[in-house]
Structure 1
Amino acid sequence: MSSEEKAVTASRPENRQERKERTRRAILDAALEMLAEESFGTLSLRSLTKQVGIVPTAFYRHFATLDELGLSLVDESFMTLRDLIREVRSGEPAPETLIDHSVEVLVAQLETHKAHFRFIGRERHGGNAVLRDAIRHELGMFERELATDLARMPGLERWGAADLHVLASLFVDLMVAAAGELVSPSAEQPPVRRQLVDNLRNQARMIVVGAAGWKPLEP
């Protein structure tokens, strides 16, 4: 959109649908901000709506329940993860550079989307069963997609589905765990961050070394 188009849009009064979308976005953003300091299970509807500047009853024009808000945050957070995976796949990096490339992409995405990764990392094992199940389902989809990608890599063509799933789950677990550490307050310190990134890179390489010596399971 050009600067002239933005100026016209800004000067035009919002219609009802636009106001509704803006308020919905404000609720999601406020929830993410509050969840940087607390778990979803402790999120208060009254505190959330106060943060947004609306009355509690207005919340229900956008979400039927707090759980529905949480599921929207899960969907949004995994859209960020999908963007990350697409960027890792882009350019089809060579196997010997894939780990470094993947770590670089993850670290860059974390810097831009800290709130989303912090939310996933915390609620993956949080007290809300609805969110836990939704996150488990999304991570399972990632594992299946990654297993398909791994099947095309040199040396893994003869691996069975069970082996590929084990390897994919190791990488997904490592990525999610590392993401949670890298968005923690302590990771704001450059020495701590460098150590975490080095650990992530070495752990990924260790998985690859172990995979090279793995004897495929019987089908």
Structure 2
Amino acid sequence: MSSPTRAPDPRPARTRAAIYTAARELSSADGEVTVNALTRRAGISRAAFYSHFSGLDELIGQMLHDMFQTVWEEGAAMHRGVASPHERVRSATAVVVAYVEQHRTFLLGALDWKFSHRTFLALIEMISVRHRHAFDALGEGLPSEVDRMVASDAFAGSQLSLIIRWLDRSEHVVAGGGEPDAAALLESTLRCWPTWYTGLQPGDDFDARGLLEAAHRVLAEQREQAQG
């Protein structure tokens, strides 16, 4: 007689969720993120923390990985019915910017984390993979002289650098009573890539704000469906 299947132990998932929540709260509150601060905030022991992560570097790397993975999954709805590879590039970039805008406070705080060069490169690679998927969709529209690996890494690096610069500047804008302009981040990102990738010619009119608003609507709809 076979023994009944045991239900998964929910405690590890709860502990991991508590660590994530504590990290987001400390970062958003501009608090110093240390293992001691995290464990106090999460109400767990140091041993419990280290049973999930080797240290803060692995934690921030996993959190950023999960955030960007969510971007790709929730943003997939933005591409439905979009035939042009160029339009898909623009809409995918808009979803990333919308997500960054929504999580600006946490991401700004995360910049103060002392994560390693290895974690930074892993983040670049994760974004780079998405650009290579976009290259595949371009088909013959991808210039023959373009090295896919080099170009995807360059696009990912420029995208991440622009996000970091926007986050840094946004702190000063908010301190001065202003509102950070995420549409400007979207447009500057797309404008720094070549026409063969985005379909945008120099001087073309481009409604970055409208595209960004559409991305926000898609993300909101996806979350409502997930909660329902």
Give the TM-score category using the shorter length: 0.5 to 0.7
Relative to structure 1, the CA distance from residue 105 to residue 64 in structure 2 (aligned partners, 3 Å threshold; closer, same or farther) is: same
- Give the TM-score, by structure 1 length: 0.62
Cross-structure match for 1:185: 171
Task: Map 1:191-210; keep pairs closer than 5 Å.
Answer: 192-194=179-181, 196-209=182-195
Cross-structure match for 2:121: 136
Question: CA offsets, 1:94-121, max 9 Å, x none?
Answer: 245345423431232224444664466x
Q: Does 2:56 match 1:72?
A: no
Cross-structure match for 1:33: 25
Residues 49 and 59 in structure 1, CA contact (< 8 A), matched pair in contact too:
yes
Cross-structure match for 1:106: 96
Task: Map 1:59-98; keep pairs closer than 5 Å.
Answer: 59-64=46-51, 67-86=54-73, 87=75, 90-91=79-80, 92-98=82-88
Residues 78 and 138 in structure 1, CA contact (< 8 A), matched pair in contact too:
yes
- In structure 2, distance between residues paired with 1:53 and 1:127: 23
Query: Which residue identity does 1:177 align to in structure 2?
Result: S
Q: How many residues align?
A: 184
Query: Which residue identity does 1:34 align to in structure 2?
Result: L
- Identity between Structure 1 and Structure 2 (%): 16
Question: CA offsets, 1:60-95, max 9 Å, x none?
Answer: 124248643541332232122123234267324524
Q: CA RMSD in A?
A: 3.8
Cross-structure match for 1:50: 40
Greater Cα offset, 98-107 or 63-72 = 63-72
- In structure 1, distance between residues paired with 2:177 and 2:97: 13
- In structure 2, distance between residues paired with 1:115 and 1:16: 34
Cross-structure match for 2:135: 150
Query: Which residue identity does 2:184 align to in structure 1?
Result: D
- Give the TM-score, by structure 2 length: 0.60
Residues 143 and 172 in structure 1, CA contact (< 8 A), matched pair in contact too:
yes
- In structure 1, distance between residues paired with 2:132 and 2:177: 34
Instruction: Measure how far apart 1:170 and its partner are.
Output: 3.1
Gaps of 5+ in 2: 1-6, 199-228
Residues 74 and 134 in structure 1, CA contact (< 8 A), matched pair in contact too:
yes
- In structure 1, distance between residues paired with 2:86 and 2:10: 48
